Chain A
Amino acid sequence: MAAINRDDVAHLARLAHIEMSAEELDRMAVELAVIVDSVKSVSEAAGEDVPATSHPIPLTNVFREDVVGHTFTAEQALSGAPDAYENRFKVPAILDED
């Protein structure tokens, strides 16, 4: 399995929307390489025939009646928003152009 390097961390940070300084990338790359190395053995632990477990106690068909339950008012939903305008979340430009 490939080791993780500084370029990988920079790429992952972009995917995860976390701006990182050059110093932070240097440090993260070293720390994450150690962690990734320590979890390598996991890929060799189980054979092809072992099924995956996604939830420890699987439940199936968890349904509820199709009726309207509790809902927030617009005011409640916006109460923690950094910015709002006319009952909507207000955000900066969505597209990267003028």
Chain B
Amino acid sequence: MTELKNELIRHSAADLAAKLAAREVSAVEVTQAHLDRIADVDGQINAFLHVNTEEALAVAAEVDAARAAGGAAAEELHALAGVPIAVKDLIVTIGQPTTAGSKILEGWHSPYDATVIKKLRAAKMPILGKTNLDEFAMGSSTEHSAYGPTRNPWDLDRIPGGSGGGSAAAVAAFEAPLALGTDTGGSIRQPGAVTGTVGVKPTYGAVSRYGAIAMASSLDQIGPVSRTVLDSALLQEVIGGHDPFDSTSLTDPFDNLAAAARVGNVAGMKIGIIKELHGEGYQAGVENRFNESLQLLKDAGAEIVEVSCPNLKYALGAYYLIMPSEASSNLAKFDGVRYGLRALPQDGPMTIERVMGATRAAGFGDEVKRRIILGTYALSAGYYDAYYGSAQKVRTLIQRDFDAAFSNADVLISPTAPTTAFKLGEKANDPLAMYLNDVATIPANMAGIPGLSLPGGLADEDGLPVGVQLLAPARQDARLYRVGAVLESILEEKWGGPLLAQAPELKTPALGAASNSAGGSN
């Protein structure tokens, strides 16, 4: 049985879907195998803040019943029906708590589902639980979670990236075949890079943000997390599409993504290396794996060109003005009145203003406070033009740079992150060093264009995963999946299998090593 379970959790979502459709395996078996894996290893990883056992098994049983009944009930099932998924705890769900990784929302239950959750429910994909994140998605390591950090399955002393470290680690540790993330400056792609998994930030507006607790509304985007490029394409097709509840939602169709992942060639495509996003400041092993991917794409018939985006040097600075400005406004609603924590002042008059001050002091962690103060500063009278206004102009310059680059290339390519996973605590007291992790991912959010990170191999010096990032023009998400799937297939041929096959085995009770069982409650 252990053998069978171990096999089940290692399949891609696409393979599981095929096995389910062929009735080789039941949705309950698949879901239970992942719940067992969570119980076995999540004590070490801390990817899950909540495990949704009963509901997940009930949804799986519905899928099995529909398949068993045959006829219309079986015909109507979505291709991914019965394939389980984990959800970043920034996305609201009925029936499970949503914390955003913050004490201020501890125990809070949303009275509504996010649009992406409604779509998962319509597709009958069992939701395994909610995954850990930096508080309100502010961070690059999950160390800013109020519920303890998530650990990288490749090395438990290292960070899994962030803010979506829980989703990436869950997928890397075979606790879930798929997960949802959110990406404001790299929170899907950078965790993907450092855990050897795939993560995609779709075009801004391609996936509804309704029900994702907002950090920076003009930058936030929900997207897929998976172990294969095709799986992310399949998941983006489930969660994407126009939503009247999100006024920034696009009406364009994005229905050719899985097909693009199956095209299987890049011959004649022009792939642009962004001059400013590699070289100095990038770890040698990252640079080596990146150059190797370039050579492989060239061997596969792609034309490699160099492009320059000179204004990217301002992107990080502009991001750290726009994001906190929007975050300080978005987080004003956490005031101890309508939901979440209420803390009372220790002494003095008990006015609502003082209750707000005490609540936000007790409920928010340091990084959230830093960003709120920074945003309040950037938006204050006398500074607005110099800070927020200038940063918005930089966004225009970055968009123009990308427009020019895409006139010479179909997709652009760079390392996803400048380094491999660093040690827990290494950058905890240096906010600026932490921010530099996102130097290569932030530009896509600033411009609204889609980006994908896939595993590019292991760095020679530390044996840890390196991510390769692909960028495409707005609305051309399909190009990412086409090129990404080809590169993935060439690399896997070279490695003799998926990169995650090289990850160390996690200790499980079945292997006789004692470990904490049960990740979270149900």
Contacts and interface: CB of A to CB of B under 8 A. Distances in A.
Interface of A: 1, 4, 8-9, 12-20, 24, 28, 31-32, 34-36, 38-43, 45-46, 50-57, 59, 62, 64, 72, 76-77, 79-83, 89, 91-96
B283 interface: no
A17 B141 CA distance: 27
B392 A93 contact: no
Contacts of A1: 383, 386
B408 interface: no
Contact of A16 (B358, B373, B383): B373
Interface in B77-114: 108-112
Given A32-B370, A80-B111, A94-B351, A56 B218 contact: yes
8 contacts: A1-B386, A4-B377, A12-B380, A32-B373, A45-B394, A81-B339, A82-B339, A96-B349
Contact of B350 (A20, A36, A39, A92): A92
B376 A15 contact: yes
Given A16-B376, A31-B431, A45 B358 contact: no
Closest 3 A/B residue pairs (Cβ): A56-B448, A80-B339, A46-B393
Given A36-B374, A79-B111, A18 B357 contact: yes
A95 B335 contact: no
A91 B355 contact: yes
B432 interface: yes
Contacts of A12: 373, 376-377, 380
Contacts of B353: 17, 96
Interface in B338-397: 338-342, 345, 349-358, 360-361, 364, 369-370, 372-374, 376-377, 380, 383, 386-387, 389-397
Contacts, number: 184
Interface in B433-470: 435, 445-449
B320 A35 contact: yes
B162 interface: no
B204 A56 contact: yes
A56 B315 CA distance: 14
A24 to B, nearest CB: 8
Q: Looking at chain B's contact residues, is the secondary structure mostly helix, strand, loop, or mixed? A: helix
Contacts of B317: 38-42
A32 B369 CA distance: 11
Interface string B275-314: 0000000000000000000000000000000000001011
A23 B340 CA distance: 26
Given A1-B386, A18-B372, 7 more contacts: A12-B376, A28-B369, A28-B370, A34-B431, A35-B431, A62-B247, A95-B351
A45 B393 contact: yes
**Which of B248, B341, B474 has most chain A Cβ within 10 Å?**
B248
A52 B386 CA distance: 12
Contacts of A46: 390, 393-394, 396-397
B376 A35 contact: no
B250 interface: yes
Nearest to B388: A52
A81 to B, nearest CB: 6
A85 to B, nearest CB: 13
Interface in B200-219: 203-205, 218-219
Contact of B352 (A9, A51, A94): A94
A22 B397 CA distance: 41
B447 to A, nearest CB: 6
A18 B363 CA distance: 10
B321 interface: yes
Nearest to A9: B373
Contact of B218 (A13, A28, A55, A77): A55
A56 B399 contact: yes
A36 B391 CA distance: 13
Contacts of B345: 19
A95 B351 CA distance: 7
B509 interface: no
B497 interface: no
B203 A18 contact: no
Contacts of A35: 320, 370, 374, 431-432, 435
**Which of A18, A62, A95, A96 has most chain B Cβ within 10 Å?**
A18
Contact of A51 (B250, B376, B396): B396
A95 B447 CA distance: 44
B173 interface: no
Nearest to A42: B317
B203 A16 contact: no
B389 A52 contact: yes
Contacts of A95: 351
A82 B448 contact: no
A56 B360 CA distance: 31
Contacts of B314: 41-42, 45
B318 interface: yes
B218 A36 contact: no
A95 B349 CA distance: 10
A41 B341 CA distance: 39
A80 B373 contact: no
A96 B355 CA distance: 12
Contacts of A28: 369-370, 373
A17 B377 contact: no
Nearest to B110: A80
B349 A89 contact: no
Interface in B213-259: 218-219, 244, 247-248, 250
B337 interface: yes
A68 to B, nearest CB: 14
Contacts of A64: 244
Given A41-B314, A41-B317, A57 B396 contact: no
